A and B are shown apart, each in its own frame.
Chain A
Amino acid sequence: MAGYSGEILRINLTTSQVTTISTADYEEWGGGHGIGTALFWDLIPDKTLTDGFDPANVVTIMSSPLAGTLVPAAGGRTEVQGIGTDAYPTCWFTRSNFGGRFSPMLKYAGWDGIVIEGKASSPVWIDIRDYSVQILDAGSLWGKDTWQTQTEIWDFVSPGCGPGGPGFGARSAPAVLTIGAAGENQTRMGSLIHDAGNGAGQGGFGGVWGSKNLKAISVLGTGAVQVADPNALMDARLWSKDYGWDPNNPVPPMWMLSAFGGMTGSAIYGTPDIPRRSQGCLSCHRACRSRRQGANGNESSCFDMGMYNAYDQMAHGGAMTEVTFQGADLSQKYGINNVAVHGALVWLHNLHSQGIAGPGLEIDTDLPFEELGELSFLEEFIERIVNSQEIGQYLAEGNARAAEALGRLEQDLATGTLPLQYWGYTHHYDARTQVDWGYSSIVGSRDANQHDFNWPCYWMPSMTILYGLEPPVPAEYLAQMVATACQPYGDPMMADYSDEGIYSEHMAKTVAWSRHYSGFWKQSLLLCDWAYPDIFNYYGPGMMGLTPQAEPMFFHAVTGQNLTFEDGMEIGRKVWNLDRAIWTLQGRHRDQEVFADYTYDVPNVPGFSSHEVPYVMPTYEDGVWDYRPVWGRSLDRDSFELWKTSFYELEGWDSATGWPTRSTLESLGLGYVADELEAHGKLGG
């Protein structure tokens, strides 16, 4: 099928064997997470494994048929899956992804993905140049930061193309994915870094690579991606331009955080005094990052800055300084998950403020809290984590395990002093307010980090009202937008975030829709989460977004396959069920799917985190739609348990356990999955 390169690399680091897998055998799964998970299912010897550091762990690094093509905000992403190392108490099979140019380069080299198995006896890196694949000694690279590693590999593969070299500008530098010290030292916060600021951060895959003695993968590709209908792709790309940010008609700042039509990077990240450009992944119209004069913070975005921004401002009279951007660069160079670092900072700062953490105190640490907000503190902090020194010896095991070892886990999760709301992951968006984020996380494997309803239902109304303005569309109209986009459910009540609505069957559809849409359209075809789904769009007719029209249009143009939006959602449901089956084999039960206690016992407070604004969301109360404040809310345990039951029933899973049933799996062509669950005594009744 057009769009695919046709083969997947399979590399066994134990035996140094390099073989190939035909992509055609897996095309039914789409690409990205779908194919990556199906490969994991087929190749992992023991699906009950929960140790990400075990050499038996299988990591799949996947492109998609759209990678390397003109599909907007879909040309550049790469999806990674395997058993993670950071989730608590169980390291679930999980996923992460990153932008840039790695997956297109992989496609141009002739590969749809890479499977990594086993463990090398000493540090290695993988050098891929079209169909040439070599496993090379990484002794001289091990110990180097991610940026230095990349420039050295660039110079090795394409001499002179690095900074200052005579070849600069030829862009013949390979695309490299690498780990830094956090991964080499097998911390649970290790990430995978590509170019300056693209990172697969959540999940702890850096440590997985470190445990395999895998330092880096480099890809140089000179070939092409086949497109089934190039004319249609050109037309579709230019049609979509009307939905994208227009510098001559910019989105008002209060709506900058929206999907396809959102503001570009130079408008989001930066300080007024430093000139910068918006910078984007391959083929992306949004260009959501920036590159700045002086190069601090190049290609970093979102939580890269959010990791230390609040502390920077606290220390410098409320002003964002270069420390925020240099801090982002530190996290990239060390290859450490900045969301996890942020969680650690919040926790320890909270404890220090309460007189609990400090020299000679209950949590005995000589961290220089008087320097909090300066770059020196952050560098010291990260150094201690990656080298397991002092307080870092605990934090290297992840925030939850650190708290457990220090005897603070239960009490700090009860109060929110330790902001780990779901599976030991740092609180991102609040399960008490924008509940679908938390719900998707807890029935999944990690911080869900999918902005499907976050942009239109949280940021749009909350920011508008924060600016003292009327939202651009009334709540009832937004509910209709949700219904229009969210096929096949088409239910406006999915947008009801009222105190009753958050426990309803409609909210079960909201979460199911998000899981299925992510399962195929986003995480398998690799449409970027910062552009899709596009529900509310400032530029769209009636401010409607381009979902569900655009996705099948782009897919058809590239692959030639006639897949409806609903067909794609059904494939996404299949991918989601395969995920669920793996977690079930790893030991998942509904009784484990509970939030940290603060979610139930402590009301959401505006400004709880450093990046959330007070939550104002669409609600349906007393027969009236309106935007209403939902801060101050906590979840009711019993009501949430009832919601879980309705969710499991909607998904066709056993409500007593949360396990998939045979009838559901067989309806998706996954009878063999049901067989394996049954063999392990884990099939839903």
Chain B
Amino acid sequence: MSNRERSWSEGVKSRVSRKEFLKAGAAVAVGVGLGDALVRVEHRGEGVVAFAGPEGSIVVDTLKCAGCQSCMLACSLGHTGLENLSMANICITQESFVGYPDDVAAHVRGRCDLCANTPFWNEQGGVGGKQACVEVCPMRAVEFVPA
């Protein structure tokens, strides 16, 4: 069965567009995870960027980031069971022809739930648990700092 035909168990089509996905996800409870459409971005210097919500911050050291996007793949996989970069809450973008350190940028969406709801990952997420992006990053460039 090709990607076009198969549906995710909860009815989301595998070829769902980013727009459809965001619309469907608007129902995620406010107050969970970063929990805010307008997440507070704090540039802490030396390439370190924090994406802060009421329960804590996902902090990305963009100088260490290798641009492998494993964090995005893990986020998508853990939450949806699919590999789709558009479905990730953490977003690493990069530019091949630009020099370090301006070649990589990071963003975390306010809808990030700190992996509180990751049916496809056998770990406890949320504030007291683990975050897939943090765990998978080979450069140890991502961390969660509780509020």
Q: Which residues of A approach B to under 8 Å, CB–CB?
A: 4-7, 68-70, 72, 75, 108, 110, 147, 150-151, 163, 168-171, 195-197, 222-227, 230-231, 233-235, 237-238, 241, 244-245, 247-248, 264-265, 275-287, 290-295, 298-299
Contact = CB atoms under 8 A, between A and B. Distances in A.
A241 B136 contact: yes
A7 to B, nearest CB: 6
Given A6-B1, A223-B14, A291-B100, A108 B84 contact: yes
A348 B96 CA distance: 33
Contacts of A286: 138
Given A163-B98, A224-B84, A285 B15 contact: no
A295 B99 contact: yes
Contacts of B95: 163, 168
A248 B74 CA distance: 22
A237 B3 CA distance: 23
A234 B68 contact: no
B65 interface: yes
B85 A108 contact: yes
A277 B68 contact: no
A146 to B, nearest CB: 11
Given A169-B93, A230-B78, A5 B2 contact: yes
B87 interface: yes
Given A75-B73, A222-B17, A298 B84 contact: no
Chain B contact-residue range equals 35 or more
Contacts of A284: 66, 68, 70, 138
Given A277-B66, A293-B101, A226 B77 contact: no
24 contacts: A5-B3, A69-B73, A69-B83, A70-B73, A70-B136, A150-B96, A151-B97, A222-B86, A225-B3, A230-B78, A231-B121, A233-B77, A234-B74, A235-B122, A237-B74, A238-B135, A277-B64, A277-B101, A277-B103, A279-B67, A287-B139, A291-B104, A293-B99, A293-B100
A53 to B, nearest CB: 30
A233 B4 CA distance: 22
B99 A292 contact: yes
B69 interface: yes
B82 A227 contact: yes
Interface string B1-45: 111101000000011111000000000000000000000000000
Nearest to B78: A234
B116 interface: no
Nearest to A285: B138
B27 to A, nearest CB: 21
Contacts of A248: 140
Given A70-B73, A223-B84, A226-B14, A231 B120 contact: yes
A197 B67 CA distance: 14
Contacts of B97: 147, 151, 163, 196, 295, 298
A110 B123 CA distance: 31
Nearest to A244: B138
B48 interface: no
